[in-house]
Structure 1
């Protein structure tokens, strides 16, 4: 059963808040972690793990090892996480007939050498979550409707699962909020983030389809494609939003939201 879905950032500042606005975000993320303690497995959708241009990815490696922080900032998490391989395999096998999707392992098919790295895209959300088995899914920049349809498929499959599952969408938003940042300044980043927060507060992500490709390219989010999957989930499993907050202490926007049944 799908018990809920969280939108969580992956910026270091979410863990080490530099100002009051980010501190509010931090506190909401802690509360989200408490709310999701009833989950037996997390499905974590992350843009900063395997990057496949043409396909979604499902990580099948048995052992997941925190390895790559951002800017060498240490974020204390568990030394190792396990993959819920049974449910991951069910997702992969159920999806592969309809969607471009790849199952990914490393070194061996199972056992102690079946290992895979975690990056800041997973580490920072995991900081706020009680340790559970994981299923890592990596999005690709596919056609919008394909990602929405995958979300619908995923929501239905998780709803039928014989365990309690929570979806966690690791997402940062516009990355062009500051001239001093690596992408410079673009007003589209501010507009994108403003509209995303409005959608999260309303619980309606349909407005994602109003953004043009040109606008997205200028706003420079990493959240867009993962949020399309979330939109598909919400089309199948309606949920109500809570704990929405936003902060932008550097050049990228961060937001929190918890969708409850």
Structure 2
């Protein structure tokens, strides 16, 4: 069963935001258009809350972190401009997700800042969450940061716990896996060039197109190290949350206009699942 109103894989490059696109707005135009499409589909699904899986939030080594502050607020800057976004947190849903995962023996840290509630209870909204949320409906959110590591079994199990908590909530909930892919496409990028980037991204796009997300857990660890993706962990949580028979996948676009790969895909409900 797929308990989510709509789910997607969405990237988080800063130039995807029109205000931060700089002197070459066409550089990420394909992906930007796909993000607008994902946002329209999410709005049509009318979720009351959004769960965002991000690789760049507040991290705790070896643990899944779940934001449980009153609010999240962040700013992304590029090309001399800035975009700020603030969202309320769906705290009952955040706590239910954390409790379900903890009951399954998974390592989870529930995070807050400043005060237990009220205006000072505000955690940073990282760019991995802020950028896809910019295209989505303005509803309360739950932001989760999965740990990184070579063992993906906890991520699949966390996704299953997430799905159980969402189903039990009775809410319409959207799910966003915020993922950029290989970061070694360009010799002038911060991680340099490696041919593994194109190879890994081609495999990822094929797996997602076929709806076979679980195969991403079997990627060669050396290929992963050389290509430096940051999307595997969030995608495998999504794989646990939406079982294979319940996936109807559409890969909208893939491009690598800069040093990292950008992919957009939507996951709608299969009525027969």
- TM-score bucket of the superposed structures, by smaller chain: over 0.9
State whether structure 2 residue 103 is matched by structure 1 residue 101: no
Is the 8 Å Cα contact of residues 254 and 261 (structure 2) preserved in structure 1?
Answer: yes
Which residue is 1:81 aligned to?
87
Seen in structure 2, the aligned counterparts of structure 1 residues 211 and 59 have a Cα distance that, compared at 3 Å, is same
Q: How far apart, in 2, do the equivalents of 1:31 and 1:155 lie?
A: 24
Seen in structure 2, the aligned counterparts of structure 1 residues 241 and 166 have a Cα distance that, compared at 3 Å, is same
Q: How far apart, in 1, do the equivalents of 2:131 and 2:111 lie?
A: 22
Which residue is 1:150 aligned to?
158
Which residue is 1:211 aligned to?
219
Could you state the TM-score of these two structures normalised by the residue count of structure 1?
0.93
State whether structure 2 residue 260 is matched by structure 1 residue 252: yes
Which residue is 1:6 aligned to?
8
Seen in structure 2, the aligned counterparts of structure 1 residues 51 and 103 have a Cα distance that, compared at 3 Å, is same
Is the 8 Å Cα contact of residues 76 and 127 (structure 1) preserved in structure 2?
Answer: no
Aligned length: 259
Which residue is 2:42 aligned to?
36
Q: Spell out, residue by residue over 1:197-216, the C-alpha distance to the aligned partner (whole angstroms, 9 max, x if none).
A: 11222222122022122221
Q: How far apart, in 2, do the equivalents of 1:52 and 1:131 lie?
A: 28
Which residue is 1:228 aligned to?
236
Q: Spell out, residue by residue over 1:115-144, the C-alpha distance to the aligned partner (whole angstroms, 9 max, x if none).
A: 111121111101111211000000102421
Q: How far apart, in 1, do the equivalents of 2:51 and 2:265 lie?
A: 16
Which residue is 1:174 aligned to?
182
Which residue is 1:63 aligned to?
71
Q: How far apart, in 2, do the equivalents of 1:60 and 1:95 lie?
A: 15
Q: How far apart, in 2, do the equivalents of 1:11 and 1:186 lie?
A: 20
Q: Spell out, residue by residue over 1:82-115, the C-alpha distance to the aligned partner (whole angstroms, 9 max, x if none).
A: 0000110111112113100000000100011101
Deviation of the 1:77 alpha carbon: 5.2
Which runs of 5 or more residues in structure 1 are unaligned?
none
Among 131, 141, 151, the alignment partner of 2:148 is 141
Q: How far apart, in 2, do the equivalents of 1:52 and 1:158 lie?
A: 23
Seen in structure 2, the aligned counterparts of structure 1 residues 237 and 70 have a Cα distance that, compared at 3 Å, is farther
Seen in structure 2, the aligned counterparts of structure 1 residues 82 and 72 have a Cα distance that, compared at 3 Å, is farther
Seen in structure 2, the aligned counterparts of structure 1 residues 227 and 23 have a Cα distance that, compared at 3 Å, is same
Deviation of the 1:175 alpha carbon: 0.2
